[in-house]
Amino acid sequence: MSVRRILVTAKLTGLELARRRIALGLLTALPLAFYGGSVGRGGNAVITGGVAMAFSIAGASIFVALTARPVDPRLILAGYHPTELLLGRLLLLELFGVLVAAVFSVVMVFGSDPAHPWATAAGVGLVALTSVPFGLAVGGLSPHELEGVLVLIGVVGVQLTLYSTQLMAKFLPFWGGQRLLDHSVNPNIAVGAAVPANILYAAALFAIATYIMRRQAPRVGGAERHRPEAAASIHAV
Amino acid sequence: MPVSAETVPAADRVLARRLGAPPKSAAGGPPALEAHGICKSYGDRTVLENRSLRVAAGEAVAIIGENGAGKSTLMRICAGLIAPDAGSVSVAGRVGYCPQEPGLFDLLSADEHLEMFAPALGLSREQAIREGHGLLAEFAFPLAQRTQCRHLSGGSRQKLNLALALLGGARILLLDEPYQGFDHGAYVSFWEHVARWRGEGIGVVVVTHLLADQALVDRVVELEIACHAAGDEQ
């Protein structure tokens, strides 16, 4: 594992993402519009805006995963380890997520005056944390951007229609953040296991993204190049 | 199936003479790549059935065949990008692989691609850019423009694709129709480079459909559609 490879991947992912300014602007405007549209309906606006923020961060992650797919095999063949590429992207996208979460926190704390502003910030932070591995996993599985975005709309859409107290909501990846956002506007709702559950979801999604990446990577290449296999082998002489 | 220059039309032989006919064949030299008994199927469709390929260091081999004969699949297996269902591949040293479709980041420039590949190849950013610029300049790539790949012509994208395969010094080059979109000058330059690589002891495999190319290599290997073909090379 090379820190330099991870950092170079992060840097160039950042450059590429920065050049998708219009798409990123639209992706960020969408959840802000969700929030703006429901701001007159009390605390719901914070939950809607915070959870819908996943559209922007997970959407960016899907774009990154899909754009890299045709190049990744060559990078791995050249010497990258699949995990280095994934960690580099994760690093950059989580930084992007922190930035977006900070903007949403400020807008929603000042716009809705929640009872526990810290829980608003923590809630959007958890949504951001989960959105990146969720987007990388969906991007790894989707054949094209359209399918990936449809899955994103489906999952986030269902999460938005459920109350955080409903059992089904707990089976969706953004429940932890949703619960904290709920708590921030309605202190009677206990935080419970929201934080560990959210971290667990994020870790599980990253493990899935890693598994998909390794499955799609060249069977032999980079660090694995000298590993012989029994029936079908490619090895150095 | 070896194809001699005599089977190539006269106009192509003129080009071959201009580029220089291949010197003494290196087929008997130490192997740069050996593939044995390669089988590959996609679902019910058998693409490769018991194929073998040996390329010596300093040898240039052309792979020809109909569409669907498995040329690109064989190259991808030899490069290590996909695993065969059966068979083995041995390579001596690093493989440089140039795919048919340029696998590039549309929103990154050529320099940024070189920077991305640098740490994988153990090069510093400056080394990769210097070496990459040298390669790109030899193929008349528009270096001064520093444009993102999405704004490059098909030929320029392919030149970058080829340069990335060559970066870092490979001992075996697997080039899958590497000059699609090249103008005549770049095409001629490409074959001059093949002659140079061969002289440096690099094994070169080129997938091609052009008859002229077949006069410029040491050997031609023809792949046939798997359902009515046995092994192709002994």
CATH of the domain at B187: 3.40.50.300
Window from A72-86, A138-152, B204-218 with minimum mean pLDDT: B204-218
| More reliable by pLDDT, A142 or A40 | A142
Mean pLDDT, rounded, of chain B = 82
* Cα A165 from Cα A167, distance rounded (Å): 6
Which pTM was predicted?
Answer: 0.83
State which residues form the domain around B136.
5-228
- Average pLDDT of the segment spanning B172-178: 91
Interface confidence: ipTM more than 0.95: no
Tell me the pLDDT tens digit for each residue of B61-70.
Answer: 999 888 888 8
Which whole number is the average pLDDT over B162-181? 88
Confirm whether A29 is domain-assigned: yes
pLDDT at B12 (0 to 100): 47
Looking at the predicted structure, is the pLDDT value of residue B17 above 70?
no
Is pLDDT of A190 > 60? yes
Q: What is the pLDDT of residues B26-50, one digit of tens each?
A: 556 678 899 999 999 988 888 898 8
Q: Do B195 and B169 meet the contact criterion of CB atoms below 8 Å apart?
A: no
Burial of A155 (0-12, 13-18, 19+ CB in 10 A): middle
The tokens for A220 are: 């032999």
The 10 Å Cβ neighbour count of residue B63 is: 27
Look at residue A230 and tell me if it is in a domain: no
Q: What is the pLDDT of residues B79-130, one digit of tens each?
A: 988 889 999 898 888 889 998 888 899 999 999 999 999 999 999 999 999 9
Q: Which pLDDT belongs to residue A27?
A: 87
Does residue B90 sit at the A interface (CB-CB below 8 Å)? yes
Q: Could you say which of A67, A78, A237 has the minimum Cβ distance to residue B120?
A: A78
- B219 is a domain residue: yes
Q: Is residue A228 part of a domain?
A: no
Quote the minimal CA–CA distance from A91 to chain B in Å.
16
- Residues from chain A that touch B103, judged by Cβ atoms under 8 A, are 70-71, 73-74
Evaluate whether residue B234 is within a structural domain. Answer: no
Contact A234 B101 (CB under 8 A): no
* Structural domain includes residue A126: yes
Query: Per the domain annotation, does A236 fall within a domain?
Result: no
Residue range A47-69: mean pLDDT, rounded? 93
Torsion, Cα of B17, B23, B26, B32 (10° steps): -60
Report yes or no on B24 lying in a domain. yes
Asked whether residue B233 is domain-assigned, the answer is no
The number of domains in chain A is: 1
pLDDT score recorded for residue B109:
93
* Minimum mean pLDDT range among A117-121, B64-68, B117-121, B170-174: B64-68
Comparing A58 with A165, the larger pLDDT belongs to A58
Query: pLDDT higher for A125 or B140?
Result: A125
- Provide the domain limits for residue A64: 3-220
Q: State pLDDT tens for residues A80-89.
A: 999 999 999 9
CB B188 within 8 A of CB B45: no
A interface residues, B as partner, C-beta within 8 Å = 2, 4-5, 8-9, 12, 15-16, 19-20, 67-68, 70-71, 73-75, 77-80, 218-222, 225, 229, 231-237
**pLDDT (0 to 100) of residue A221:** 40
- Domain count within chain B: 1
Given an 8 Å threshold on Cβ–Cβ distance, is A78 in contact with B168?
yes
Q: Tell me: pLDDT of A40 over 80.
A: no
pLDDT at position A233 over 60? no
User: According to the model, what pLDDT value does residue B25 have?
Assistant: 52
Residue B229 in 3-state DSSP? coil
Checking DSSP bridges between strand B203-207 and strand B60-65, what pairing results, if any? parallel
Chain mean pLDDT for chain A: 87
How many beta carbons lie within 10 A of that of residue B187, not counting itself? Answer: 20
- B163 in a structural domain: yes
Higher pLDDT, A43 or B31: B31
Identify the three-state secondary structure at position B50.
strand
